[in-house]
Amino acid sequence: MAQRIGHRIIDGIETQRCWSCGRWLPLDKFARNRTAWDNCQKRCKECDKQVYAKKREHILQQKKQYHIEHQAERCEKSRRYRQEHPEIMRRYMQIHHDRLKVLNKEWRSQNREILRAIGAKRRAIEKEASGAKYTTVAHISARWEYYGWRCYLCGRPAEATDHVIPLAKGGSHFPANLRPICTSCNSTKKDRWPIEIPASHVSYEGGTNERIS
């Protein structure tokens, strides 16, 4: 067979050069291209694969970015849909009741921080405290982190978020007024301000958190 332009016979096999990787390869290593004179793509299949993988990665990255940027929008759309279709939601809840119950329980046990933050926010909004709408779960988590997840009064593991100046006394819901507190101190303190916790209470071994000013 006569050798065609751009092709080379190597060891009796017709080859062409991939313009991307530069290798001389047998024609079956190139994808079909009906518009080419030799019915062959000029970039080898292996190089094609790499190009498509890169493209795919780029597209996935873009989709991910879009997903993140439009999260709030999506939540709002979904919330509106649920509101406008109560009968569909009711039927959905009935059909998936058992599954939803398990999922809900699981979520609640894994997201106690978020639930606590939501509870504190709701109380703050009810009392029309300043900062009620500003403060996020992330703000409250940062406060807990700062106090080492311990009660700011006695150092025991914390269970709730305290408004140091109580909401009832005009305290705000801004992060500066929020600290983790244990159940015992919470029930002793209640809406008292300024705080007068008995000295005996603070003598827990491990002590009052040093970072309290």
CB of 138 to Zn ion, least distance (A): 24
* SS3 per residue for the chain: CCCCCCEEEECCEEEEECCCCCCEEEHHHEEECCCCCCCEEEEEHHHHHHHHHHHHHHHHHHHHHHHHHCHHHHHHHHHHHHHHCHHHHHHHHHHCHHHHHHHHHHHHHHCHHHHHHHHHHHHHHHCCCCCCCCCCHHHHHHHHHHCCCECCCCCCECCEEEECCCHHHCCCCCHHHEEEECHHHHHHHCCCCCCCCCHHHHCCCCCCCCCCC
Among 154, 172, 173, 189, which residue interacts with Zn ion (rule: CB under 5 A)? 154
CB of 77 to Zn ion, least distance (A): 43
Q: Annotate each residue in 65-94 with x if it binds Zn ion (CB under 5 A) or - if it does not, as one string.
A: ------------------------------
- Name the residue nearer to Zn ion (CB basis): 171 or 180: 180
Angle at which helix 112-126 crosses helix 137-146, to 10 degrees, equals 110
Q: Per CB under 5 A, which of residues 17..46 are in contact with Zn ion?
A: 18, 20-21, 44
- Name the residue nearer to Zn ion (CB basis): 117 or 154: 154
CB of 162 to Zn ion, least distance (A): 9
CB of 147 to Zn ion, least distance (A): 11
CB of 90 to Zn ion, least distance (A): 43
Cβ–Cβ under 8 Å, residues 120 and 144? no
Among 120, 153, 167, 178, which residue interacts with Zn ion (rule: CB under 5 A)? 153
Q: Per CB under 5 A, which of residues 44..63 are in contact with Zn ion?
A: 44, 47
Count of residues touching Zn ion (by CB under 5 A) = 11
CB of 153 to Zn ion, least distance (A): 5
What residues contact residue 212 under an 8 Å CB cut-off, 6+ apart? 152
Q: Please give the Cα distance from 135 to 125 (Å, whole number).
A: 11
182 lies in the site for Zn ion, by CB under 5 A = yes
Q: Annotate each residue in 113-152 with x if it binds Zn ion (CB under 5 A) or - if it does not, as one string.
A: --------------------------------------x-
Which residues of the shown chain bind Zn ion in the complex (CB under 5 A)? 18, 20-21, 44, 47, 151, 153-154, 156, 182, 185
